[in-house]
Amino acid sequence: MSKQINVALIGNPNTGKTSVFNALTGLNQKVGNYPGITVEKKEGICKLPRGVKAHIIDLPGTYSLNASSLDENVVIELLLNKTDKDYPDVAVVVSDVENLKRNLLLFTQIKDLQIPTILVINMSDRMEYKGISLDIPYLEQQLKTKIALISTRKNKGINKLKELIASHKELSVEACLDASIIDTTYFNNLRKAFPHQLLYKLWLVITQDVNFGKTDRKTYDAVEDFKTKSKTDLKRLQQKETIKRYQFINETLKKGQTIDLKSAKDLRIKLDRILTHKVWGYLIFGVILLTIFQAIYDWSSIPMDFIDNSFASLSEWTKDTLPEGAFTNLLAEGIISGLGGVVIFIPQIAFLFLFISILEESGYMSRVVFLMDRIMRRFGLSGKSVVPLISGTACAIPAIMATRNIESWKERLITILVTPFTTCAARLPVYLIIIALVIPEGRVFGLSYQALTLMLLYLIGFGAAVGSAWILNKVLKIKSKSFFVVEMPNYKLPLLKNVALTVLEKTKAFVFGAGKIILAISIVLWFLASYGPGDSFNNAERIVTEQYASDNLTEEELNQKIESHKLEHSFIGIAGHAIEPVIRPLGYDWKIGIAIVSSFAAREVFVGTLATIYSVGSDEEETIKNRMAGEVNPVLGGPLFNFASGISLLLFYAFAMQCMSTLAIVKRETNSWKWPMYQLLIMSGFAYIVALIAYQVLK
């Protein structure tokens, strides 16, 4: 049986840590959350030489062990707690060849914890381009470690890194420098009081607000006595420690690194002048967004049609092949139709994640953050709020978690409250099916009306987020100050492997996450739509036959009338008719009402619900889009999904807070039910009013 070791990947943001993680683990990775908190946890398995297997943990990006956010606390808590099952046997600190000086601060701190540590210098393929040369033997000697010079882009040095990880027991655990000389008396007293404890670990316990394992609790409680210094004095000591470390790093790099500025060919400054320009920057970003939405429509139409027809054929084949009965109906009309309503959108969702991943990998997303800070400040938000607002286009849940790097509580709270306005991937299936039904095909300046409508919905969502942020900034009486700092990574061609893994992971998470909910709801809805109380449902055949006896209907037409009568008098029909008076002014019927109510579990359930409802009793091989297009408005006649009702529905979903999971995360992040309840009531009320006005004006 092969041995397994724990490997912690640690590093500053934008050093290529994720690329190293992907290079080591490939597809053998999974994403979850740390127990009890909503910080993302990425882990994977890597096979090493000599039959060793490594459990790789990709820790959140951190600049130092002086934590200022919850993400950074996760790193410190793991490194200080030997009883944790993920405590590393070896730490791999990933640095960027162009920012080695800044990256080494974190490295020297981790070395002080006496954990076997490997230094990875990434992006080595840029050394010649940037005029950088390194004396690796000298750096290894000064830093008391082994160095892996790698390029994930060219796939160089990965095998060397695996060798170093496998032989981690040979690494020195000696510290690079003695940081305790910043206050000899204080640290000597600390050393005397706890002779069997690691000095730097004690220092971190004194200065950080973190959690520890039960075994060391008594010792750590006793350390509280050493917080005799004021917070200001402790902060000053931390600053002295940082200065001392940088003095050592500067001395080391004087001999270990040379940079020939004359040979460095850098287009970054020229590109930044254009991409962050106060006019051209916004125009370029707008063109990029338009291109993305047009591509989402054009590239995905063929696979979507194929999936739609395939599920319709599969449902029909199931009915024809399996014996008649409740199970066959459940399979064909409930499960297959419900899942078909989600699977059809995989191509468009995958393309959305593809473009977002490319923008992040290329370094352009940081420019967007910088660009948008100019606008955000006026509305009570930070430039850092753009990251949650943009990542909210994938899902509001991780977007709300991403607010943790916003230092100001007021700005963070406002960002949490307004992020659900941004159009997430769960809204996309609703938008796409309604747009396809009510927006005509056609183009202006080469752009389709449908793509322009989709982009307009994204802009409306973003506008609602920014507008509500401005109102909240005026209403919330919370005093706070903040400073905006964003790192501009170098531009680089996106790594195909990283993009592919991101698209695969995100799409899989969306489909399986939504699929579980939709499968459960589809089964419940099928049951509610297939059964009903009283004579009206049980004697549907007799009632309908008598009602249309003089109309000379064909057998097929009569069967359709019977199925329609059953559906209307089923459990779901009764519930739908009960809420119909509330939604009728918006142009919706009871079927849409049921879909809206069920989609509070998750927005994407809307399409799956309608797919289930419309397929109950249907014997024809027909796609969901065709069924919805054929629905007739029972009051006004004509198509139910017309321009007025379609726009009303699109606006309702643009503004409504229809995601229970998001409400749960908001409660967790704000530690109160007050804020999610405000979100639910205000957003849903606003959505209803806007949808009502839109329908009444357009009808």
**pLDDT tens figures, 256-276:** 888 775 544 566 778 888 888
Q: Look at residue 691 in the predicted model and tell me its pLDDT.
A: 94
State the sign of the Cα–Cα–Cα–Cα dihedral 123, 124, 126, 127: positive
Tell me 673's DSSP state.
S
Q: Look at residue 110 in the predicted model and tell me its pLDDT.
A: 94
State the sign of the Cα–Cα–Cα–Cα dihedral 138, 142, 145, 151: negative
- pLDDT-derived band of residue 518, with 50, 70 and 90 as boundaries? low
Angle, CA 49 vertex, CA 46 and CA 50 arms, to 5°? 120
For residues 546-570, give the mean pLDDT: 78
Could you tell me what percent of the chain has a pLDDT over 70? Answer: 83
Q: How far apart are CA 455 and CA 450, in angstroms?
A: 9
Which stretch of 34-43, 103-112, 173-182, 386-395 has the lowest confidence by average pLDDT?
34-43
Give 322-330's long-range contacts (Cβ < 8 A, gap of 24+).
326/530, 329/526, 329/530, 329/616, 330/523, 330/526, 330/527, 330/530
For residues 677-683, give the mean pLDDT: 92
| pLDDT over 90 (residue 579) | no
Say if CB 502 and CB 357 are below 8 A apart: yes
For residues 286-315, give the mean pLDDT: 80
Q: Look at residue 235 in the predicted model and tell me its pLDDT.
A: 81
Q: Look at residue 620 in the predicted model and tell me its pLDDT.
A: 47
| pLDDT over 90 (residue 476) | no
Q: Look at residue 250 in the predicted model and tell me its pLDDT.
A: 92
Q: Look at residue 484 in the predicted model and tell me its pLDDT.
A: 55
Q: Look at residue 650 in the predicted model and tell me its pLDDT.
A: 93
Helices 555-568, 571-583: inter-axial angle, 10-degree rounding: 70
Q: Look at residue 514 in the predicted model and tell me its pLDDT.
A: 60
Q: Look at residue 537 in the predicted model and tell me its pLDDT.
A: 84
Q: Look at residue 696 in the predicted model and tell me its pLDDT.
A: 93
Q: How far apart are CA 198 and CA 113, in angstroms?
A: 7
Say if CB 338 and CB 608 are below 8 A apart: yes
Q: Which range in 415-424, 523-532, 601-610 is most confidently predicted, on average pLDDT?
A: 415-424
Q: What is the CA radius of gyration of the chain?
A: 30
Could you tell me what percent of the chain has a pLDDT over 90? Answer: 17
Q: Look at residue 695 in the predicted model and tell me its pLDDT.
A: 93
CA 216 to chain centre: 35
- pLDDT-derived band of residue 621, with 50, 70 and 90 as boundaries? very low
Q: Outline where 551-673 has alpha helix (H).
A: 555-568, 571-583, 590-598, 605-615, 624-629, 643-655, 660-670
Say if CB 440 and CB 449 are below 8 A apart: yes
Q: Look at residue 276 in the predicted model and tell me its pLDDT.
A: 83
| pLDDT over 60 (residue 237) | yes
Q: Look at residue 266 in the predicted model and tell me its pLDDT.
A: 61
Tell me 176's DSSP state.
S
Closest Cα partner for 411 from 470, 458, 370?
470
Q: How far apart are CA 608 and CA 587, in angstroms?
A: 20
Q: Look at residue 379 in the predicted model and tell me its pLDDT.
A: 80
- pLDDT-derived band of residue 33, with 50, 70 and 90 as boundaries? very low
For residues 509-517, give the mean pLDDT: 67
Task: Please tell me whether residue 373 adopts helix, strand or coil conformation.
Answer: helix
Which stretch of 362-366, 383-387, 500-504, 688-692 has the lowest confidence by average pLDDT?
383-387
For residues 129-135, give the mean pLDDT: 84
Q: Which range in 73-77, 407-411, 562-566, 693-697 is most confidently predicted, on average pLDDT?
A: 693-697
For residues 323-338, give the mean pLDDT: 80
Owner of token pair 């990256």 = 103
Per-residue model confidence as pLDDT tens digits over 406-457: 767 788 888 899 998 988 777 877 888 888 888 888 888 777 888 888 889 9
Q: Look at residue 70 in the predicted model and tell me its pLDDT.
A: 64
- pLDDT-derived band of residue 480, with 50, 70 and 90 as boundaries? low
- pLDDT-derived band of residue 104, with 50, 70 and 90 as boundaries? very high
Task: Please tell me whether residue 43 adopts helix, strand or coil conformation.
Answer: strand
Domains and CATH numbers, the chain: 1-264 (3.40.50.300), 280-475 (no CATH), 513-640+648-698 (no CATH)
Residue 459 has φ and ψ, to the nearest 5°, of: -65, -40
- pLDDT-derived band of residue 304, with 50, 70 and 90 as boundaries? confident
Q: Look at residue 210 in the predicted model and tell me its pLDDT.
A: 57
Residue 174 has φ and ψ, to the nearest 5°, of: -70, 140
Which stretch of 3-12, 284-293, 607-616 has the lowest confidence by average pLDDT?
607-616
Q: Look at residue 264 in the predicted model and tell me its pLDDT.
A: 46
Question: Mean pLDDT score of the chain, rounded to an integer?
Answer: 80
Tell me 383's DSSP state.
G
Closest Cα partner for 606 from 521, 680, 689?
521
